[in-house]
Chain A
Protein backbone atom coordinates (compact mmCIF):
# COMPACT_ATOMS: atom_id res chain seq x y z
CA UNK A 1 0.00 0.00 0.00
CA UNK A 2 2.73 2.42 1.05
CA UNK A 3 4.78 1.39 -1.96
CA UNK A 4 1.82 1.92 -4.26
CA UNK A 5 1.13 5.44 -3.02
CA UNK A 6 4.80 6.31 -3.21
CA UNK A 7 4.93 5.05 -6.78
CA UNK A 8 1.87 7.09 -7.62
CA UNK A 9 3.37 10.22 -6.10
CA UNK A 10 6.53 9.81 -8.15
CA UNK A 11 4.60 9.26 -11.36
CA UNK A 12 2.11 12.02 -10.73
CA UNK A 13 4.60 14.80 -11.36
CA UNK A 14 5.75 13.40 -14.66
CA UNK A 15 2.24 12.63 -15.89
CA UNK A 16 0.61 15.91 -15.03
CA UNK A 17 1.63 17.78 -18.13
CA UNK A 18 0.60 14.91 -20.38
CA UNK A 19 -2.73 14.71 -18.59
CA UNK A 20 -3.50 18.35 -19.33
CA UNK A 21 -3.12 17.71 -23.02
CA UNK A 22 -4.88 14.33 -23.03
CA UNK A 23 -7.74 15.65 -20.92
CA UNK A 24 -8.43 18.51 -23.27
CA UNK A 25 -7.97 16.33 -26.32
CA UNK A 26 -10.50 13.81 -25.00
CA UNK A 27 -13.19 16.32 -24.09
CA UNK A 28 -12.73 18.85 -26.87
CA UNK A 29 -14.78 17.18 -29.66
CA UNK A 30 -17.81 16.72 -27.42
CA UNK A 31 -17.41 20.02 -25.61
CA UNK A 32 -16.98 21.90 -28.87
CA UNK A 33 -20.15 20.36 -30.31
CA UNK A 34 -22.11 21.12 -27.15
CA UNK A 35 -20.76 24.65 -27.02
CA UNK A 36 -21.77 25.34 -30.62
CA UNK A 37 -25.18 23.64 -30.49
CA UNK A 38 -26.05 24.07 -26.80
CA UNK A 39 -24.25 26.75 -24.83
CA UNK A 40 -23.90 29.49 -27.43
CA UNK A 41 -27.53 29.14 -28.62
CA UNK A 42 -28.79 29.65 -25.05
CA UNK A 43 -27.14 33.05 -24.86
CA UNK A 44 -28.07 33.76 -28.46
CA UNK A 45 -31.69 32.98 -27.70
CA UNK A 46 -31.68 35.67 -25.04
CA UNK A 47 -30.09 38.11 -27.52
CA UNK A 48 -32.68 37.28 -30.19
CA UNK A 49 -35.50 37.96 -27.74
CA UNK A 50 -34.43 41.64 -27.69
CA UNK A 51 -34.37 41.86 -31.48
CA UNK A 52 -36.74 42.21 -34.38
CA UNK A 53 -35.75 39.41 -36.77
CA UNK A 54 -37.18 36.96 -39.27
CA UNK A 55 -34.19 34.62 -38.64
CA UNK A 56 -33.07 34.69 -42.29
CA UNK A 57 -31.43 38.12 -42.28
CA UNK A 58 -29.79 40.08 -39.46
CA UNK A 59 -32.03 41.55 -36.77
CA UNK A 60 -32.48 45.03 -35.40
CA UNK A 61 -32.51 45.89 -31.71
CA UNK A 62 -35.94 46.47 -30.33
CA UNK A 63 -35.28 46.60 -26.62
CA UNK A 64 -37.95 44.91 -24.53
CA UNK A 65 -40.59 45.31 -27.25
CA UNK A 66 -41.04 41.55 -27.64
CA UNK A 67 -41.64 41.15 -23.91
CA UNK A 68 -44.10 44.05 -23.83
CA UNK A 69 -45.90 42.47 -26.76
CA UNK A 70 -45.97 39.16 -24.93
CA UNK A 71 -47.53 40.63 -21.80
CA UNK A 72 -50.31 42.22 -23.88
CA UNK A 73 -50.87 39.27 -26.23
CA UNK A 74 -54.11 37.47 -25.30
CA UNK A 75 -53.22 34.43 -27.44
CA UNK A 76 -49.91 34.07 -25.57
CA UNK A 77 -51.76 34.00 -22.26
CA UNK A 78 -54.30 31.58 -23.68
CA UNK A 79 -51.43 29.33 -24.78
CA UNK A 80 -49.81 29.65 -21.34
CA UNK A 81 -53.09 28.78 -19.58
CA UNK A 82 -53.63 25.82 -21.89
CA UNK A 83 -50.08 24.59 -21.37
CA UNK A 84 -50.64 24.74 -17.62
CA UNK A 85 -53.99 22.97 -17.97
CA UNK A 86 -52.34 20.33 -20.12
CA UNK A 87 -49.65 19.73 -17.45
CA UNK A 88 -52.21 19.62 -14.66
CA UNK A 89 -54.20 16.97 -16.54
CA UNK A 90 -51.41 14.97 -18.18
CA UNK A 91 -48.97 14.55 -15.28
CA UNK A 92 -51.32 13.33 -12.51
CA UNK A 93 -53.33 11.10 -14.86
CA UNK A 94 -50.17 9.43 -16.18
CA UNK A 95 -48.76 8.90 -12.70
CA UNK A 96 -52.04 7.71 -11.17
CA UNK A 97 -52.49 5.13 -13.93
CA UNK A 98 -48.84 4.05 -13.88
CA UNK A 99 -48.75 2.95 -10.22
CA UNK A 100 -51.46 0.25 -10.38
CA UNK A 101 -50.21 -0.89 -13.79
CA UNK A 102 -46.65 -1.22 -12.49
CA UNK A 103 -47.91 -3.22 -9.50
CA UNK A 104 -49.89 -5.42 -11.88
CA UNK A 105 -46.90 -5.97 -14.17
CA UNK A 106 -44.75 -6.83 -11.15
CA UNK A 107 -46.80 -9.98 -10.39
CA UNK A 108 -45.80 -13.48 -11.41
CA UNK A 109 -48.36 -14.40 -14.02
CA UNK A 110 -48.05 -16.46 -17.19
CA UNK A 111 -47.46 -14.38 -20.28
CA UNK A 112 -46.10 -11.41 -18.35
CA UNK A 113 -43.44 -10.74 -21.00
CA UNK A 114 -46.23 -10.23 -23.51
CA UNK A 115 -48.29 -8.02 -21.20
CA UNK A 116 -45.27 -5.86 -20.49
CA UNK A 117 -44.49 -5.58 -24.16
CA UNK A 118 -48.05 -4.39 -24.80
CA UNK A 119 -47.74 -1.65 -22.19
CA UNK A 120 -44.29 -0.55 -23.39
CA UNK A 121 -45.01 -0.65 -27.15
CA UNK A 122 -46.54 2.88 -27.33
CA UNK A 123 -43.29 4.15 -25.83
CA UNK A 124 -41.35 3.44 -29.02
CA UNK A 125 -44.17 4.57 -31.30
CA UNK A 126 -43.21 7.93 -32.77
CA UNK A 127 -45.21 11.03 -31.94
CA UNK A 128 -46.13 11.46 -35.62
CA UNK A 129 -47.47 7.91 -35.89
CA UNK A 130 -49.34 8.40 -32.61
CA UNK A 131 -50.91 11.55 -34.03
CA UNK A 132 -51.97 9.82 -37.25
CA UNK A 133 -53.48 6.86 -35.41
CA UNK A 134 -55.38 9.02 -32.91
CA UNK A 135 -56.67 11.29 -35.68
CA UNK A 136 -58.60 8.25 -36.81
CA UNK A 137 -59.53 6.95 -33.34
CA UNK A 138 -60.91 10.36 -32.40
CA UNK A 139 -62.49 11.01 -35.82
CA UNK A 140 -66.02 12.40 -35.28
CA UNK A 141 -67.49 10.63 -38.30
CA UNK A 142 -65.78 7.24 -38.52
CA UNK A 143 -63.55 6.95 -35.45
CA UNK A 144 -63.42 3.95 -33.14
CA UNK A 145 -63.99 5.93 -29.95
CA UNK A 146 -67.20 7.47 -31.24
CA UNK A 147 -68.30 4.01 -32.33
CA UNK A 148 -67.77 2.89 -28.74
CA UNK A 149 -69.77 5.83 -27.40
CA UNK A 150 -72.49 5.03 -29.92
CA UNK A 151 -72.65 1.43 -28.66
CA UNK A 152 -73.11 2.73 -25.13
CA UNK A 153 -75.92 4.96 -26.31
CA UNK A 154 -73.91 8.13 -25.73
CA UNK A 155 -73.86 11.06 -28.13
CA UNK A 156 -70.93 11.33 -30.54
CA UNK A 157 -68.17 13.80 -29.72
CA UNK A 158 -66.08 16.15 -31.82
CA UNK A 159 -62.77 15.61 -29.94
CA UNK A 160 -60.03 17.30 -32.01
CA UNK A 161 -62.67 19.34 -33.82
CA UNK A 162 -64.32 20.70 -30.69
CA UNK A 163 -62.92 23.70 -28.84
CA UNK A 164 -63.82 22.22 -25.45
CA UNK A 165 -62.46 18.75 -26.14
CA UNK A 166 -59.35 19.29 -28.25
CA UNK A 167 -56.97 19.71 -25.31
CA UNK A 168 -58.38 16.83 -23.21
CA UNK A 169 -58.21 14.67 -26.35
CA UNK A 170 -54.52 15.57 -26.71
CA UNK A 171 -54.08 14.59 -23.04
CA UNK A 172 -55.64 11.18 -23.73
CA UNK A 173 -53.35 10.62 -26.70
CA UNK A 174 -50.16 11.63 -24.91
CA UNK A 175 -51.01 9.66 -21.76
CA UNK A 176 -51.19 6.58 -24.01
CA UNK A 177 -47.78 7.45 -25.41
CA UNK A 178 -46.06 8.19 -22.09
CA UNK A 179 -47.69 5.66 -19.77
CA UNK A 180 -45.12 2.98 -20.58
CA UNK A 181 -42.30 5.30 -19.53
CA UNK A 182 -43.88 6.02 -16.14
CA UNK A 183 -44.61 2.32 -15.68
CA UNK A 184 -40.97 1.42 -16.35
CA UNK A 185 -39.81 3.90 -13.70
CA UNK A 186 -42.29 2.59 -11.13
CA UNK A 187 -41.63 -1.02 -12.05
CA UNK A 188 -37.90 -0.67 -11.52
CA UNK A 189 -38.59 1.10 -8.19
CA UNK A 190 -40.88 -1.77 -7.13
CA UNK A 191 -38.25 -4.32 -8.09
CA UNK A 192 -35.76 -2.51 -5.88
CA UNK A 193 -37.99 -2.90 -2.82
CA UNK A 194 -36.06 -5.39 -0.67
CA UNK A 195 -37.87 -8.72 -0.47
CA UNK A 196 -37.07 -9.00 3.26
CA UNK A 197 -39.13 -5.89 3.84
CA UNK A 198 -42.23 -7.44 2.30
CA UNK A 199 -41.56 -10.75 4.08
CA UNK A 200 -41.24 -8.94 7.40
CA UNK A 201 -44.54 -7.19 6.74
CA UNK A 202 -46.19 -10.53 5.96
CA UNK A 203 -44.75 -12.07 9.16
CA UNK A 204 -46.17 -9.19 11.14
CA UNK A 205 -49.60 -10.18 9.85
CA UNK A 206 -49.80 -7.49 7.26
CA UNK A 207 -52.19 -8.28 4.40
CA UNK A 208 -51.07 -7.98 0.78
CA UNK A 209 -52.95 -4.75 0.25
CA UNK A 210 -51.86 -3.21 3.54
CA UNK A 211 -48.26 -4.18 2.81
CA UNK A 212 -48.48 -2.36 -0.51
CA UNK A 213 -50.07 0.68 1.08
CA UNK A 214 -47.71 0.91 4.06
CA UNK A 215 -44.43 -0.48 2.71
CA UNK A 216 -44.23 -0.34 -1.09
CA UNK A 217 -46.06 2.89 -1.79
CA UNK A 218 -43.86 5.06 0.49
CA UNK A 219 -40.81 3.51 -1.17
CA UNK A 220 -42.09 4.74 -4.53
CA UNK A 221 -41.72 8.34 -3.36
CA UNK A 222 -38.37 9.02 -5.09
CA UNK A 223 -39.70 7.56 -8.36
CA UNK A 224 -42.81 9.72 -8.00
CA UNK A 225 -40.87 12.91 -7.40
CA UNK A 226 -38.64 12.15 -10.37
CA UNK A 227 -41.64 11.45 -12.61
CA UNK A 228 -43.51 14.50 -11.40
CA UNK A 229 -40.70 16.76 -12.53
CA UNK A 230 -39.65 14.87 -15.65
CA UNK A 231 -43.21 14.55 -16.95
CA UNK A 232 -43.90 18.21 -16.17
CA UNK A 233 -40.80 19.36 -18.05
CA UNK A 234 -41.78 17.25 -21.03
CA UNK A 235 -45.41 18.34 -20.84
CA UNK A 236 -44.30 21.98 -20.97
CA UNK A 237 -42.53 21.14 -24.24
CA UNK A 238 -45.54 19.55 -25.93
CA UNK A 239 -45.46 20.17 -29.67
CA UNK A 240 -45.31 17.14 -32.01
CA UNK A 241 -48.69 15.63 -31.20
CA UNK A 242 -50.43 19.01 -31.43
CA UNK A 243 -48.76 19.80 -34.74
CA UNK A 244 -49.74 16.45 -36.26
CA UNK A 245 -53.35 16.42 -35.04
CA UNK A 246 -55.04 19.73 -34.19
CA UNK A 247 -52.51 22.32 -35.46
CA UNK A 248 -53.33 24.27 -32.30
CA UNK A 249 -56.99 24.56 -33.16
CA UNK A 250 -59.84 24.83 -33.33
CA UNK A 251 -59.69 28.58 -32.59
CA UNK A 252 -56.41 28.23 -30.62
CA UNK A 253 -58.15 25.78 -28.27
CA UNK A 254 -55.15 23.45 -28.23
CA UNK A 255 -52.40 26.01 -28.85
CA UNK A 256 -49.67 25.35 -26.29
CA UNK A 257 -46.58 27.49 -25.74
CA UNK A 258 -44.13 25.64 -27.98
CA UNK A 259 -46.71 25.44 -30.74
CA UNK A 260 -47.27 29.19 -30.45
CA UNK A 261 -43.50 29.73 -30.49
CA UNK A 262 -43.27 27.66 -33.67
CA UNK A 263 -46.09 29.63 -35.29
CA UNK A 264 -44.50 32.95 -34.44
CA UNK A 265 -41.09 31.89 -35.80
CA UNK A 266 -42.08 29.97 -38.93
CA UNK A 267 -45.54 31.20 -39.88
CA UNK A 268 -45.38 34.87 -38.83
CA UNK A 269 -41.57 35.03 -39.25
CA UNK A 270 -41.31 36.92 -35.97
CA UNK A 271 -38.15 35.23 -34.68
CA UNK A 272 -37.54 37.77 -31.92
CA UNK A 273 -40.97 37.28 -30.42
CA UNK A 274 -40.60 33.49 -30.68
CA UNK A 275 -37.26 33.73 -28.84
CA UNK A 276 -38.92 35.79 -26.11
CA UNK A 277 -41.61 33.12 -25.68
CA UNK A 278 -38.82 30.53 -25.52
CA UNK A 279 -37.04 32.49 -22.78
CA UNK A 280 -40.25 32.76 -20.77
CA UNK A 281 -40.75 29.02 -21.10
CA UNK A 282 -37.14 28.43 -20.09
CA UNK A 283 -37.64 30.35 -16.85
CA UNK A 284 -40.60 28.12 -15.99
CA UNK A 285 -38.65 24.95 -16.81
CA UNK A 286 -35.66 26.15 -14.79
CA UNK A 287 -37.98 26.77 -11.87
CA UNK A 288 -39.30 23.19 -12.11
CA UNK A 289 -35.73 21.85 -12.35
CA UNK A 290 -34.65 23.75 -9.24
CA UNK A 291 -37.61 22.27 -7.39
CA UNK A 292 -36.46 18.84 -8.53
CA UNK A 293 -32.95 19.38 -7.19
CA UNK A 294 -34.42 20.56 -3.92
CA UNK A 295 -36.85 17.62 -3.71
CA UNK A 296 -34.14 15.19 -4.76
CA UNK A 297 -32.08 16.29 -1.79
CA UNK A 298 -35.05 15.84 0.52
CA UNK A 299 -36.11 12.39 -0.66
CA UNK A 300 -32.72 10.88 -1.49
CA UNK A 301 -32.47 9.10 1.86
CA UNK A 302 -35.15 6.68 0.66
CA UNK A 303 -33.00 5.47 -2.16
CA UNK A 304 -30.37 3.97 0.13
CA UNK A 305 -32.75 1.02 0.75
Chain B
Protein backbone atom coordinates (compact mmCIF):
# COMPACT_ATOMS: atom_id res chain seq x y z
CA UNK B 1 0.00 0.00 0.00
CA UNK B 2 2.57 2.49 1.05
CA UNK B 3 4.74 1.38 -1.82
CA UNK B 4 2.06 2.02 -4.44
CA UNK B 5 1.33 5.48 -3.08
CA UNK B 6 4.98 6.35 -3.04
CA UNK B 7 5.66 5.11 -6.49
CA UNK B 8 3.77 7.76 -8.53
CA UNK B 9 5.46 10.84 -7.05
CA UNK B 10 8.78 9.14 -7.45
CA UNK B 11 8.51 8.61 -11.13
CA UNK B 12 8.21 12.19 -12.34
CA UNK B 13 11.10 13.32 -10.15
CA UNK B 14 13.20 10.62 -11.68
CA UNK B 15 12.20 11.48 -15.22
CA UNK B 16 12.58 15.23 -15.00
CA UNK B 17 16.29 15.48 -14.22
CA UNK B 18 17.19 12.55 -16.45
CA UNK B 19 20.01 14.27 -18.34
CA UNK B 20 21.51 15.20 -14.99
CA UNK B 21 22.80 11.99 -13.38
CA UNK B 22 25.52 11.62 -16.00
CA UNK B 23 26.79 15.09 -15.22
CA UNK B 24 26.18 15.17 -11.52
CA UNK B 25 29.53 13.64 -10.65
CA UNK B 26 32.22 15.60 -12.49
CA UNK B 27 34.65 13.48 -14.40
CA UNK B 28 37.79 12.63 -12.41
CA UNK B 29 39.73 13.95 -15.39
CA UNK B 30 39.14 17.46 -14.03
CA UNK B 31 41.66 16.57 -11.34
CA UNK B 32 44.29 16.47 -14.08
CA UNK B 33 42.88 19.18 -16.31
CA UNK B 34 42.63 21.88 -13.65
CA UNK B 35 46.31 21.72 -12.57
CA UNK B 36 47.29 21.64 -16.23
CA UNK B 37 45.26 24.79 -16.86
CA UNK B 38 46.86 26.46 -13.83
CA UNK B 39 50.35 25.74 -15.14
CA UNK B 40 49.62 26.83 -18.71
CA UNK B 41 47.55 29.93 -17.88
CA UNK B 42 49.45 30.76 -14.68
CA UNK B 43 52.16 32.90 -16.29
CA UNK B 44 49.55 34.85 -18.26
CA UNK B 45 47.33 35.32 -15.20
CA UNK B 46 50.31 36.60 -13.18
CA UNK B 47 51.15 38.95 -16.01
CA UNK B 48 47.70 40.51 -15.62
CA UNK B 49 47.84 40.47 -11.80
CA UNK B 50 51.22 42.22 -11.74
CA UNK B 51 49.99 44.79 -14.24
CA UNK B 52 47.31 45.96 -11.79
CA UNK B 53 49.52 45.88 -8.67
CA UNK B 54 51.38 48.74 -7.05
CA UNK B 55 55.14 48.76 -7.30
CA UNK B 56 55.46 47.99 -3.59
CA UNK B 57 53.16 44.99 -3.97
CA UNK B 58 55.41 43.50 -6.65
CA UNK B 59 58.41 43.71 -4.34
CA UNK B 60 57.04 41.58 -1.52
CA UNK B 61 58.14 38.05 -1.07
CA UNK B 62 56.30 35.77 -1.34
CA UNK B 63 54.21 37.49 -4.04
CA UNK B 64 50.51 37.82 -3.37
CA UNK B 65 47.34 39.12 -4.92
CA UNK B 66 47.12 42.88 -5.48
CA UNK B 67 45.12 44.80 -2.90
CA UNK B 68 43.20 46.72 -5.52
CA UNK B 69 43.07 47.33 -9.24
CA UNK B 70 45.58 49.97 -10.28
CA UNK B 71 44.75 50.82 -13.84
CA UNK B 72 47.13 53.75 -13.84
CA UNK B 73 49.96 51.31 -14.71
CA UNK B 74 48.42 51.05 -18.17
CA UNK B 75 48.19 54.81 -18.46
CA UNK B 76 51.82 55.11 -17.34
CA UNK B 77 52.99 52.47 -19.82
CA UNK B 78 51.03 54.09 -22.63
CA UNK B 79 52.50 57.51 -21.81
CA UNK B 80 56.07 56.32 -21.33
CA UNK B 81 56.40 54.40 -24.59
CA UNK B 82 54.89 55.05 -28.04
CA UNK B 83 52.74 51.92 -27.86
CA UNK B 84 50.13 53.38 -30.17
CA UNK B 85 52.76 53.87 -32.88
CA UNK B 86 54.23 50.42 -32.27
CA UNK B 87 50.83 48.71 -32.46
CA UNK B 88 50.04 50.64 -35.62
CA UNK B 89 53.41 49.68 -37.17
CA UNK B 90 52.84 46.01 -36.33
CA UNK B 91 49.35 46.17 -37.79
CA UNK B 92 50.54 47.82 -41.02
CA UNK B 93 53.37 45.33 -41.46
CA UNK B 94 51.31 42.24 -40.59
CA UNK B 95 48.29 43.17 -42.69
CA UNK B 96 50.42 44.09 -45.71
CA UNK B 97 52.27 40.79 -45.45
CA UNK B 98 49.02 38.87 -45.18
CA UNK B 99 47.63 40.57 -48.30
CA UNK B 100 50.93 40.05 -50.15
CA UNK B 101 51.05 36.38 -49.27
CA UNK B 102 47.44 35.81 -50.21
CA UNK B 103 47.79 37.46 -53.63
CA UNK B 104 51.30 36.39 -54.65
CA UNK B 105 51.18 32.87 -53.22
CA UNK B 106 47.74 32.16 -54.66
CA UNK B 107 48.88 33.26 -58.13
CA UNK B 108 52.14 31.33 -57.92
CA UNK B 109 50.57 28.28 -56.31
CA UNK B 110 47.94 28.12 -59.04
CA UNK B 111 50.51 28.45 -61.80
CA UNK B 112 52.76 25.79 -60.27
CA UNK B 113 49.84 23.41 -59.84
CA UNK B 114 47.97 23.91 -63.09
CA UNK B 115 49.76 25.89 -65.78
CA UNK B 116 52.32 23.96 -67.79
CA UNK B 117 55.09 26.47 -68.51
CA UNK B 118 58.75 26.11 -69.26
CA UNK B 119 60.90 25.91 -66.14
CA UNK B 120 58.01 25.50 -63.71
CA UNK B 121 59.44 22.35 -62.11
CA UNK B 122 62.88 23.87 -61.64
CA UNK B 123 61.44 27.06 -60.18
CA UNK B 124 59.23 25.15 -57.80
CA UNK B 125 62.13 23.04 -56.57
CA UNK B 126 64.13 26.23 -56.02
CA UNK B 127 61.25 27.70 -54.00
CA UNK B 128 60.98 24.50 -51.97
CA UNK B 129 64.69 24.58 -51.29
CA UNK B 130 64.41 28.00 -49.64
CA UNK B 131 61.71 26.55 -47.40
CA UNK B 132 64.48 24.61 -45.66
CA UNK B 133 66.69 27.63 -45.11
CA UNK B 134 66.23 29.14 -41.66
CA UNK B 135 65.97 32.89 -41.53
CA UNK B 136 69.00 33.25 -39.24
CA UNK B 137 71.22 31.96 -42.03
CA UNK B 138 70.14 34.54 -44.60
CA UNK B 139 69.51 37.52 -42.36
CA UNK B 140 72.96 39.09 -42.82
CA UNK B 141 72.81 39.23 -46.65
CA UNK B 142 69.12 40.19 -46.44
CA UNK B 143 70.18 43.17 -44.37
CA UNK B 144 72.55 44.19 -47.17
CA UNK B 145 69.82 43.68 -49.79
CA UNK B 146 67.46 45.84 -47.77
CA UNK B 147 70.12 48.52 -47.48
CA UNK B 148 70.78 48.44 -51.22
CA UNK B 149 67.06 48.91 -51.80
CA UNK B 150 67.23 51.94 -49.47
CA UNK B 151 64.75 50.37 -47.10
CA UNK B 152 66.95 50.32 -43.98
CA UNK B 153 65.09 51.43 -40.87
CA UNK B 154 61.72 51.69 -42.61
CA UNK B 155 58.57 49.59 -42.37
CA UNK B 156 59.37 48.50 -45.92
CA UNK B 157 62.36 46.60 -44.57
CA UNK B 158 59.98 44.57 -42.41
CA UNK B 159 57.43 44.03 -45.16
CA UNK B 160 59.48 43.19 -48.25
CA UNK B 161 61.15 39.95 -47.07
CA UNK B 162 57.82 38.56 -45.80
CA UNK B 163 55.62 39.62 -48.70
CA UNK B 164 55.73 36.19 -50.35
CA UNK B 165 56.88 33.07 -48.56
CA UNK B 166 57.86 29.64 -49.91
CA UNK B 167 55.57 28.16 -47.28
CA UNK B 168 52.62 30.09 -48.72
CA UNK B 169 53.38 28.96 -52.27
CA UNK B 170 53.70 25.38 -51.10
CA UNK B 171 50.41 25.56 -49.17
CA UNK B 172 48.52 27.08 -52.11
CA UNK B 173 49.97 24.67 -54.64
CA UNK B 174 48.96 21.73 -52.43
CA UNK B 175 45.43 23.11 -52.36
CA UNK B 176 45.15 23.61 -56.13
CA UNK B 177 46.29 20.07 -56.85
CA UNK B 178 43.26 18.79 -54.90
CA UNK B 179 40.70 20.73 -56.98
CA UNK B 180 39.21 18.55 -59.74
CA UNK B 181 40.46 19.62 -63.16
CA UNK B 182 36.98 19.28 -64.67
CA UNK B 183 35.85 22.37 -62.77
CA UNK B 184 38.21 24.74 -64.53
CA UNK B 185 38.13 22.94 -67.85
CA UNK B 186 34.41 23.72 -68.15
CA UNK B 187 35.21 27.39 -67.59
CA UNK B 188 38.04 27.35 -70.10
CA UNK B 189 35.93 25.73 -72.78
CA UNK B 190 33.51 28.60 -72.20
CA UNK B 191 36.41 30.90 -73.09
CA UNK B 192 37.52 32.09 -69.66
CA UNK B 193 41.21 33.00 -69.33
CA UNK B 194 43.48 31.77 -66.53
CA UNK B 195 43.01 34.80 -64.31
CA UNK B 196 39.24 34.72 -64.81
CA UNK B 197 39.19 31.01 -63.98
CA UNK B 198 41.22 31.66 -60.86
CA UNK B 199 38.99 34.49 -59.69
CA UNK B 200 35.62 33.05 -60.67
CA UNK B 201 36.02 29.31 -60.19
CA UNK B 202 38.85 28.87 -57.72
CA UNK B 203 38.46 31.85 -55.40
CA UNK B 204 35.18 30.67 -53.85
CA UNK B 205 36.83 27.33 -53.05
CA UNK B 206 40.00 28.86 -51.64
CA UNK B 207 38.44 30.29 -48.45
CA UNK B 208 39.75 27.84 -45.82
CA UNK B 209 43.25 27.60 -47.33
CA UNK B 210 43.59 31.37 -47.70
CA UNK B 211 42.38 31.78 -44.13
CA UNK B 212 45.01 29.32 -42.89
CA UNK B 213 47.68 31.17 -44.81
CA UNK B 214 46.46 34.51 -43.42
CA UNK B 215 46.34 33.36 -39.81
CA UNK B 216 49.82 31.83 -39.90
CA UNK B 217 51.36 34.76 -41.76
CA UNK B 218 49.78 37.22 -39.36
CA UNK B 219 50.93 35.30 -36.28
CA UNK B 220 54.47 34.95 -37.59
CA UNK B 221 54.94 38.52 -38.69
CA UNK B 222 53.21 39.99 -35.64
CA UNK B 223 55.37 37.98 -33.23
CA UNK B 224 58.60 38.24 -35.22
CA UNK B 225 61.42 39.70 -33.17
CA UNK B 226 64.88 39.02 -34.60
CA UNK B 227 64.37 40.67 -37.99
CA UNK B 228 62.90 43.94 -36.63
CA UNK B 229 65.68 43.92 -34.04
CA UNK B 230 68.40 44.09 -36.66
CA UNK B 231 66.54 46.01 -39.39
CA UNK B 232 65.06 48.88 -37.34
CA UNK B 233 66.84 51.46 -35.21
CA UNK B 234 64.47 54.41 -34.76
CA UNK B 235 61.81 53.91 -32.06
CA UNK B 236 59.19 55.40 -34.39
CA UNK B 237 59.53 52.46 -36.79
CA UNK B 238 59.64 49.65 -34.25
CA UNK B 239 57.05 46.89 -34.11
CA UNK B 240 55.22 46.14 -30.88
CA UNK B 241 57.47 43.16 -30.00
CA UNK B 242 60.63 45.12 -30.51
CA UNK B 243 59.11 48.12 -28.78
CA UNK B 244 58.22 45.98 -25.77
CA UNK B 245 61.78 44.69 -25.59
CA UNK B 246 63.07 48.24 -25.85
CA UNK B 247 60.65 49.32 -23.13
CA UNK B 248 61.81 46.43 -20.93
CA UNK B 249 65.36 47.77 -21.10
CA UNK B 250 64.33 51.06 -19.55
CA UNK B 251 61.76 49.71 -17.06
CA UNK B 252 63.59 46.66 -15.71
CA UNK B 253 62.66 47.38 -12.12
CA UNK B 254 59.18 48.77 -12.59
CA UNK B 255 57.32 45.47 -12.84
CA UNK B 256 53.71 46.79 -12.84
CA UNK B 257 54.29 49.19 -15.73
CA UNK B 258 56.39 46.63 -17.62
CA UNK B 259 53.66 44.00 -17.22
CA UNK B 260 50.99 46.48 -18.28
CA UNK B 261 53.06 47.09 -21.41
CA UNK B 262 53.33 43.33 -21.95
CA UNK B 263 49.56 42.97 -21.65
CA UNK B 264 49.09 45.79 -24.16
CA UNK B 265 51.42 44.00 -26.58
CA UNK B 266 49.56 40.72 -26.25
CA UNK B 267 45.95 41.89 -26.24
CA UNK B 268 45.41 42.05 -30.03
CA UNK B 269 46.64 38.52 -30.76
CA UNK B 270 45.18 36.96 -27.61
CA UNK B 271 41.79 38.54 -28.35
CA UNK B 272 41.92 37.23 -31.89
CA UNK B 273 42.89 33.82 -30.53
CA UNK B 274 40.04 33.68 -27.99
CA UNK B 275 37.52 34.62 -30.68
CA UNK B 276 38.86 32.24 -33.33
CA UNK B 277 40.54 29.53 -31.26
CA UNK B 278 39.19 26.64 -33.32
CA UNK B 279 40.40 28.31 -36.43
CA UNK B 280 43.94 28.92 -35.14
CA UNK B 281 44.19 25.31 -34.06
CA UNK B 282 42.90 23.97 -37.35
CA UNK B 283 45.37 26.15 -39.27
CA UNK B 284 48.32 24.92 -37.27
CA UNK B 285 47.18 21.30 -37.35
CA UNK B 286 46.54 21.28 -41.08
CA UNK B 287 49.86 22.82 -42.01
CA UNK B 288 52.12 21.63 -39.21
CA UNK B 289 53.56 25.10 -38.95
CA UNK B 290 53.98 27.63 -36.24
Contact = CB atoms under 8 A, between A and B. Distances in A.
Interface of A: 4, 7-8, 11, 16, 19-20, 22-24, 26-27, 29-31, 33-42, 44-45, 48, 55, 101, 104, 107, 109-111, 113-134, 136-137, 141-144, 146-147, 150-151, 176, 178-181, 184-185, 187-188, 226, 230, 233-234, 236-237, 239-240, 243-244, 258, 261-262, 265-266, 271, 274-275, 278-279, 281-282, 285-286, 289
Interface string B20-31: 000100110110
The 7 closest A-B pairs by CB, nearest first: A23-B117, A147-B62, A44-B141, A26-B111, A41-B141, A41-B138, A38-B130
A121 B45 CA distance: 11
Contacts of B116: 16, 19, 23
B111 A125 contact: no
Contacts of A142: 58-61, 63
A34 B127 contact: yes
Contacts of A244: 225, 245, 248
B226 interface: yes
B30 A109 contact: yes
Chain A: interface secondary structure? Answer: helix
Nearest to B258: A132
Contacts of A120: 273, 277, 280-281
B171 interface: no
B136 A104 contact: no
B119 to A, nearest CB: 8
Given A119-B40, A281-B136, A126 B225 contact: yes
Given A104-B29, A136-B46, A281-B137, A27 B123 contact: yes
Contact of B164 (A33, A122, A125, A144): A33
Contacts, number: 289
6 contacts: A41-B145, A104-B33, A132-B244, A144-B46, A240-B226, A261-B136
B199 interface: no
Nearest to A179: B40
B241 interface: yes
A37 B225 contact: no
B226 A26 contact: no
A27 B40 CA distance: 43
Contact of B225 (A48, A124, A128, A226): A128
Contacts of B39: 176
Q: Which of A109, A124, A237 has the most CB of B within 10 A?
A: A124
Contacts of B134: 233, 236-237, 281-282, 285
Interface residues of B, number: 101
Contact of A27 (B107, B266, B286): B107
B194 interface: yes
Given A115-B33, A132-B259, A33 B163 contact: yes
Contact of A184 (B44, B270, B285): B285
Interface in B92-123: 103-105, 107-108, 110-112, 115-118, 120, 123
B104 A289 contact: no
A143 B58 CA distance: 9
Contacts of A234: 290
Interface string B54-72: 0000111111000000000
Contacts of A176: 39-40, 43
Contacts of A125: 44, 266, 269-270
B29 A286 contact: no
Contacts of A118: 36-37, 40-41
A282 B223 contact: no
B104 A275 contact: no
Contacts of A239: 136, 225-226
B280 A124 contact: yes
B143 A147 contact: no
Contacts of A236: 134
Contact of A121 (B44, B111, B193): B44
Nearest to B189: A7
Given A23-B115, A121-B41, A188 B62 contact: no
Given A120-B280, A129-B244, A136-B255, A110 B27 contact: yes
A123 B290 contact: yes
Contacts of B248: 128, 132, 244
B148 to A, nearest CB: 10
Interface in B197-231: 219, 222-223, 225-226, 229-230
Nearest to A105: B33
**Interface-centre pick from B164, B189, B222 (highest chain A CB count, 10 A):** B164
B281 A116 contact: yes
Given A31-B123, A127-B223, A281-B137, A22 B269 contact: no
Given A33-B164, A237-B136, A27 B120 contact: yes
B285 A187 contact: yes
A101 B26 CA distance: 19
A245 B188 CA distance: 58
B50 interface: yes
A22 B111 contact: yes
Given A27-B108, A115-B33, A129-B265, 11 more contacts: A16-B116, A19-B116, A27-B107, A44-B144, A116-B277, A121-B41, A126-B241, A129-B262, A133-B46, A142-B61, A282-B133
Contacts of B118: 20, 23
A95 B104 CA distance: 35
Contact of B47 (A42, A133, A262, A279): A133
